A = this chain, B = another copy of it.
């Protein structure tokens, strides 16, 4: 037996017990006649003590040979520490070691195994198995495990069945790029890895399974942004005989359960907002509503006063930052630079200070009198001491830029407390997006999303304004997931395919099995998928999903630890009936 206890469990009540621990050498303090070693395992750290006067020479000398991250087994007696460490759960005791066994030596790690490591991103990715020894990453994976357990507990209690769908499926050109897998047994043909189990979960509804879920890997061969991974995990769900309201209630219940079970937090009832409202008041389809600071449109108020920037603008819109009238020139310049950054994209920033003495001072005093500025202050319901910030230009770009500015002001004012949660359903998304390059409509959600019932008549006549029966779960400005009521009627599905530019043949070739299935008694159904990596990051209070994945890939889609992707042999290529392009 390698151990009688873990390194996290011994207490003063275990005093005098003879114990055996195994673990990694975290820290060594050698004071000549005494050596202390912090021994670490998954469960904690326990201090070992070797005293020259009490320990055999053999054991004492062996202790002196140890280095950081050596794997050892130590036996001895639990004793009370002279100087206790109240920060450690095992801090009242130490082990007076009388037997020591080196289970494995360790080379000096290329970076320190501490909460804050001295290793850069790259070297830590290469030695991920060492990085994973660090407490913060360990806590992240423990959190992930816990959330998965609670997701299953809740959905099982609601009679959902977890059903595994295939990973070797079929490539479809709609949506993001597929990873494909050449078939050896079917020369020249390919499987694809699923971007989501969408069609399979719908087939499970046709098959009568009623409430399905799966915590499932999905794959997208996209150019990677900082926060994207080629493989990621979804909590994928689908229900039959439901309307939107049933689904929102069910998964609001899931989110509430998770926050309560994992964090002990009651996040309250989810707000609801339409996509149009979200764009109008927050310039984003995933607004952070932990704070107000809503957009106010100024078009009517500000036009026709010879200020060309506003006169030419499609949209003039602003926010009111409470208590910021004392912002200095420097602070205002910084905000102007912030909105002009290419990622934000505004041309400039107009401000109005509603000073504490009741006067108004703006960057556009030349064009607007104090009486006029007073009217601005009124529409913003600004108080003395507030600062009004206004952007102008093309509608979409200006909304996007003001959204960024609003979030920045939220940060500056400490309104985005990571311990506060403001959950929200955004509903009624547009069904289609027009793409100028290809001159066709794309599905904003996916081609299986149902339009809202009252818009079905508009499909031919007013396509751009058809609303989808779709919804997103947004918490603190992060899109945790989304879904929709699906089409369950083959002729409506065919009509949507046509609107998306599919020929009948293409629709049949790619989704014939689904259209067929709809002919044999498909029930009304809908569902949603939550991004599991992102959900974990949100629970952990950070943005980086990579820190919640045991073995992530880098921005080029490489696993630098195992050095993959890699070359394969000529024999393998031959068997698969493929050649590399020169």
Chain A interface (Cβ within 8 Å of chain B)? 1-3, 22, 24, 40-43, 69-71, 103-107, 109, 127-130, 132-133, 138, 141-142, 144-145, 148-149, 152, 156, 161-171, 173, 177-193, 199-200, 203-204, 206-211, 217, 219, 221, 223, 230-231, 233, 241-243, 246, 488-489, 512-513, 516-524, 549-551, 553, 556-559, 561-569, 572, 574-581
A459 to chain B minimum Cβ distance, whole angstroms, is: 19
Flag if A171 contacts B572 (CB, 8 Å). yes
Flag if A242 contacts B520 (CB, 8 Å). no
A359 to chain B minimum Cβ distance, whole angstroms, is: 58
- Which chain B residue lies CB-closest to A109? B520
In the assembled complex, which residues on chain B have CB atoms less than 8 Å from the CB atom of A581?
187, 574, 577-579
In the assembled complex, which residues on chain B have CB atoms less than 8 Å from the CB atom of A564?
168-170, 191-192
A183 to chain B minimum Cβ distance, whole angstroms, is: 4
In the assembled complex, which residues on chain B have CB atoms less than 8 Å from the CB atom of A132?
204, 207-209
Flag if A169 contacts B243 (CB, 8 Å). no
Known A188-B567, A519-B106; contact A2-B242, beta-carbon cutoff 8 A: yes
A192 to chain B minimum Cβ distance, whole angstroms, is: 8
Flag if A180 contacts B572 (CB, 8 Å). yes
- Which chain B residue lies CB-closest to A215? B164
A182 to chain B minimum Cβ distance, whole angstroms, is: 7
CA distance A101 to B231 in the complex (A): 43
- Interface majority SS (helix, strand, loop, mixed), chain A: loop
- Which chain B residue lies CB-closest to A200? B551
CA distance A105 to B550 in the complex (A): 47
In the assembled complex, which residues on chain B have CB atoms less than 8 Å from the CB atom of A553?
166, 168
Flag if B566 contacts A167 (CB, 8 Å). no
Flag if A42 contacts B209 (CB, 8 Å). yes
CA distance A556 to B191 in the complex (A): 13
In the assembled complex, which residues on chain B have CB atoms less than 8 Å from the CB atom of A182?
180, 182, 578
Flag if B559 contacts A217 (CB, 8 Å). no
A146 to chain B minimum Cβ distance, whole angstroms, is: 9
In the assembled complex, which residues on chain B have CB atoms less than 8 Å from the CB atom of A211?
42
- Which chain B residue lies CB-closest to A133? B208
CA distance A568 to B509 in the complex (A): 12
Flag if B246 contacts A1 (CB, 8 Å). yes
12 CB-based A-B contacts, threshold 8 Å: A24-B521, A24-B523, A104-B524, A141-B209, A145-B162, A167-B167, A178-B572, A183-B557, A188-B580, A191-B565, A192-B564, A577-B580
Known A183-B565, A231-B168, A551-B200; contact A521-B556, beta-carbon cutoff 8 A: no
* Residue of A171, A177, A524, A562 ringed by the most chain B CB atoms within 10 A: A562
CA distance A261 to B536 in the complex (A): 30
Flag if A163 contacts B180 (CB, 8 Å). no
A54 to chain B minimum Cβ distance, whole angstroms, is: 26
- Which chain B residue lies CB-closest to A216? B217
Known A2-B241, A142-B161; contact A566-B170, beta-carbon cutoff 8 A: yes
Which one of B129, B231, B567 contacts A517 once the chains associate, using CB atoms below 8 Å?
B129
Flag if B168 contacts A179 (CB, 8 Å). yes
Flag if A104 contacts B523 (CB, 8 Å). yes
Apart from A69-B521, A129-B207, A169-B562, 11 more pairs, CB < 8 Å: A109-B520, A127-B516, A128-B207, A129-B206, A132-B208, A133-B207, A165-B550, A168-B559, A171-B568, A189-B565, A578-B578
A418 to chain B minimum Cβ distance, whole angstroms, is: 25
Flag if A565 contacts B513 (CB, 8 Å). no
Flag if B166 contacts A141 (CB, 8 Å). no
CA distance A574 to B203 in the complex (A): 32
Known A161-B141, A180-B568; contact A167-B219, beta-carbon cutoff 8 A: yes
Which one of B130, B145, B177, B187 contacts A520 once the chains associate, using CB atoms below 8 Å?
B130
CA distance A513 to B127 in the complex (A): 8
A488 to chain B minimum Cβ distance, whole angstroms, is: 6
CA distance A161 to B42 in the complex (A): 11
CA distance A550 to B559 in the complex (A): 31
CA distance A127 to B207 in the complex (A): 10
A166 to chain B minimum Cβ distance, whole angstroms, is: 5
- Which chain B residue lies CB-closest to A131? B207
Flag if B565 contacts A489 (CB, 8 Å). no
A149 to chain B minimum Cβ distance, whole angstroms, is: 6
Flag if B566 contacts A171 (CB, 8 Å). yes
Which one of B128, B181, B488, B579 contacts A104 once the chains associate, using CB atoms below 8 Å?
B488
CA distance A516 to B521 in the complex (A): 57
Flag if B521 contacts A106 (CB, 8 Å). yes
Known A170-B566, A180-B568, A519-B107; contact A550-B163, beta-carbon cutoff 8 A: yes
Known A104-B489, A209-B42; contact A166-B521, beta-carbon cutoff 8 A: no
CA distance A566 to B221 in the complex (A): 18
CA distance A556 to B138 in the complex (A): 43
Flag if B551 contacts A166 (CB, 8 Å). yes
- Which chain B residue lies CB-closest to A107? B519
A138 to chain B minimum Cβ distance, whole angstroms, is: 7
Which one of B148, B164, B549 contacts A217 once the chains associate, using CB atoms below 8 Å?
B164
